[in-house]
Amino acid sequence: MMDFSEKLLTLRKAKGLTQEQLAEMLEKQQKEMLVREQKMRAVFGCGMYAAAIYLIFIAVYAVGHFYFEVWNPSIVFAEFLVATAIVIIVCVKKLSKRL
C-alpha cells in the first residue's frame, strides 16, 4: 500500500505536473471542500433552527389549546404563519452570512 507522498509523486508523474502545479491543484481542491462543508453546516444549522422554532410553535399551540381553550383555526393558522416567517428570516440571515 502506498503512502500519501508516493501517491502524490505518482500523480505528478502521470499528469506531467510540476510540484507547484500539483500544490496549486491540491490547494484548490481543499478550498472547494471547505466551502462545500461550510455550506452543509449552514444548511444543517438552518434546519435545526427551523425545528426549534416549530417546536416552540407546537408548545404555544398546546398551551393555548389545553389551558386557554383556544381552538380557532384562523388563530392556529396565523401562529403557523408567524412561525414560518420567523424560520424564513432566521434562515435567510444565517445562509446569507455563510454563502
Q: Which residues contact 46 (CB under 8 A, 6 or more apart)?
A: 90, 91, 94, 95
Angle between helices 4-15 and 19-66 (to 10 degrees): 120
Q: Would you place residue 1 in the very low, low, confident or very high pLDDT band (cuts 50, 70, 90)?
A: low
How many residues does this entry show for the chain?
A: 99
Give the pLDDT confidence of 49-79 residue by residue, as tens digits.
999 999 999 999 999 889 988 778 898 899 9
Q: What pLDDT, on the 0 to 100 scale, is given for residue 40?
A: 93
H helices, E strands: number in the chain = 3, 0
Residue 85 has pLDDT above 90, yes or no: yes
- Give the global pTM: 0.72
| Tens-digit pLDDT profile for residues 5-57 | 888 788 878 888 788 888 888 899 999 999 999 999 999 999 999 999 999 99
> Which contacts (CB < 8 Å, 24+ apart) does range 10-16 have?
none
